C-alpha cells in the first residue's frame, strides 16, 4: 500500500481470467466502468494473460486498451491492432522435456501453442471445452508436435487433478532450469514458456515502452504466474480467491473476481488517492 501512496500509479497491468473476468469469462459492468475511470484519470491500462494473443483481442476492445498487451504469460507482446511487438519462443530442448513428462500422464491433456494455433495430438479430454469457451475457438489436431518445436509459444498440461499438476511442476522445474518458466496460471493449468516469457519481464518491457517508472506501476492477478509481476511493480494486488502463496506475495488483497475485486481495488487504491 505504501507504494501506491508514495508514487501515484500511472500504469496498471492486469491479469484477465480470474481477475477482470467472472467465471463465465465475461467482465462485469462495474469492472468495465472502473477501467474506463482509470483511463479517464490518465492511468495507462493493459492486459497480461496466459492466453494466446488472438484470444485477447475481444477483451482489448471491450476494455478500450490502446497500449501493447502481453499474451502467453508475457511471451508475446502485441500492439492493440494485433501486430507483434516482442516474441519469445520456448527452446526446443525444454519443449521436448516437458512433452515427455506430460505425455506419460493419462490424467493430463497436453496442448501446444504455436503459429497462432492451439494444437492437440491426442483425443479430446474433459478440459478441452473449458479452454475453448475461454479462448473462443477450438484446437487444431496434429499428428505430431515435432514440426512446431522451433517456434513453440507455450505448452500446457491441463488436468482436473490439481495435485498432480503441483507434483508435475515440482518435477519439471529442475529439468528445465535456465531454459523455461514453469507456473500454474490457474489451478487446472500448468504452463511452460520461455525464460523471458513471464509477466514480470512483460511489465518491465511495457513500462519502459510507455515511459513509466516501475515505482509508478501496479499489477493485479490471481494465479501462480502473477507474482512475477508483483515483484516488479511498484504496487501489487492479489485477488481474494487466489491461493495463499500468491496472496502473500502481494502488497494488498482485494475481493474475489465474483465480487468484482479488481474494480474494488482500482477504486480504492488507485482512483481514490488521486
Chain-centroid distance of CA 29 in Å reads 22
Task: Note the pLDDT of residue 24.
Answer: 92
- 8 A C-beta contact, residue 191 and residue 182: yes
Q: Give the span between the Cα atoms of 122 and 109, in whole angstroms.
A: 8
Based on the fold, state whether residues 49 and 136 are members of the same structural domain.
Answer: no
Q: Give the span between the Cα atoms of 21 and 106, in whole angstroms.
A: 30
Q: Which residues sit opposite 140 in a β-bridge? A: 119
Q: Give the span between the Cα atoms of 266 and 102, in whole angstroms.
A: 39
Q: Which residues sit opposite 219 in a β-bridge? A: 13, 236
User: What CATH number has the domain bearing residue 219?
Assistant: 3.40.50.1000
Based on the fold, state whether residues 96 and 190 are members of the same structural domain.
Answer: yes
Based on the fold, state whether residues 134 and 157 are members of the same structural domain.
Answer: yes
Strand 76-78 to strand 84-87: parallel, antiparallel, or no bridges (unpaired)? antiparallel
Please give the tally of structural domains in the chain.
2
User: What CATH number has the domain bearing residue 129?
Assistant: 3.30.1240.10
Q: Give the span between the Cα atoms of 47 and 150, in whole angstroms.
A: 27
Grid coordinates of 130: 473449458
Beta strand ranges found along 125-198 (DSSP E): 140-141, 152-158, 180-186, 189-194
Domain termination site, one of 194, 229, 253: 194
Task: Note the pLDDT of residue 156.
Answer: 97
Based on the fold, state whether residues 123 and 242 are members of the same structural domain.
Answer: no
Based on the fold, state whether residues 32 and 168 are members of the same structural domain.
Answer: no
Based on the fold, state whether residues 131 and 58 are members of the same structural domain.
Answer: no
Based on the fold, state whether residues 83 and 110 are members of the same structural domain.
Answer: no
Based on the fold, state whether residues 129 and 78 are members of the same structural domain.
Answer: no
Task: Note the pLDDT of residue 4.
Answer: 55
3 state SS of 86: strand
Based on the fold, state whether residues 77 and 152 are members of the same structural domain.
Answer: no
Q: Give the span between the Cα atoms of 110 and 230, in whole angstroms.
A: 28
Based on the fold, state whether residues 49 and 138 are members of the same structural domain.
Answer: no
Based on the fold, state whether residues 181 and 215 are members of the same structural domain.
Answer: no
Domain residues for the domain of 180 are: 92-194
Based on the fold, state whether residues 145 and 65 are members of the same structural domain.
Answer: no
Domain termination site, one of 194, 228, 245: 194
User: Could you list the mean pLDDT of each consecutive 10-residue stretch along the chain, which spans 274 residues?
Assistant: 65 97 96 98 96 92 96 92 90 98 96 95 94 93 97 97 97 97 92 94 97 98 95 98 96 98 97 85
Domain termination site, one of 128, 160, 194: 194
Residues with Cβ < 8 Å from 3, sequence gap 6 or more? 215, 233, 234, 235, 236, 251
- 8 A C-beta contact, residue 122 and residue 113: no
Amino acid at each position: 500500500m505504501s507504494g501506491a501512496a508514495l508514487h501515484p500509479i500511472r500504469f496498471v497491468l492486469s491479469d484477465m481470467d480470474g481477475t477482470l473476468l467472472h467465471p463465465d469469462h465475461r467482465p462485469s459492468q462495474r469492472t468495465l466502468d472502473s477501467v474506463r475511470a482509470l483511463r479517464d484519470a490518465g492511468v495507462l491500462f493493459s492486459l497480461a494473460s496466459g492466453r494466446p494473443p488472438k484470444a485477447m483481442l475481444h477483451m482489448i476492445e471491450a476494455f478500450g486498451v490502446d497500449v501493447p498487451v502481453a499474451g502467453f504469460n508475457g511471451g508475446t507482446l502485441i500492439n492493440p491492432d494485433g501486430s507483434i511487438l516482442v516474441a519469445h519462443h520456448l527452446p526446443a530442448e525444454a519443449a521436448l522435456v516437458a512433452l515427455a513428462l506430460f505425455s506419460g500422464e493419462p490424467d493430463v491433456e497436453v496442448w501446444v501453442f504455436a503459429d497462432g494455433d492451439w494444437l492437440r495430438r491426442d483425443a479430446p479430454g474433459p478440459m478441452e471445452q473449458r479452454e475453448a469457451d475461454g479462448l473462443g475457438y477450438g484446437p487444431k489436431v496434429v499428428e505430431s508436435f515435432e514440426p512446431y518445436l522451433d517456434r513453440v509459444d507455450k505448452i500446457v498440461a491441463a488436468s482436473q487433478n490439481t495435485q498432480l499438476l503441483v507434483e508435475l511442476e515440482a518435477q519439471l522445474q529442475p529439468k528445465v532450469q535456465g531454459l523455461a518458466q514453469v507456473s500454474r496460471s490457474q489451478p487446472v493449468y500448468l504452463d511452460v514458456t520461455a525464460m523471458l516469457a513471464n509477466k514480470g519481464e512483460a511489465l518491465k518491457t511495457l513500462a519502459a515502452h510507455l515511459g513509466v517508472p516501475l515505482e509508478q506501476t501496479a499489477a493485479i492477478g490471481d494465479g501462480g504466474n502473477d507474482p512475477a509481476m508483483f515483484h516488479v511493480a511498484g504496487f501489487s494486488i492479489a485477488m481474494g480467491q487466489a491461493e495463499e502463496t500468491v496472496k502473500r506475495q502481494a502488497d494488498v488483497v482485494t475481493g474475489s473476481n465474483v465480487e468484482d475485486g479488481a474494480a474494488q481495488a482500482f477504486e480504492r487504491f488507485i482512483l481514490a488517492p488521486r
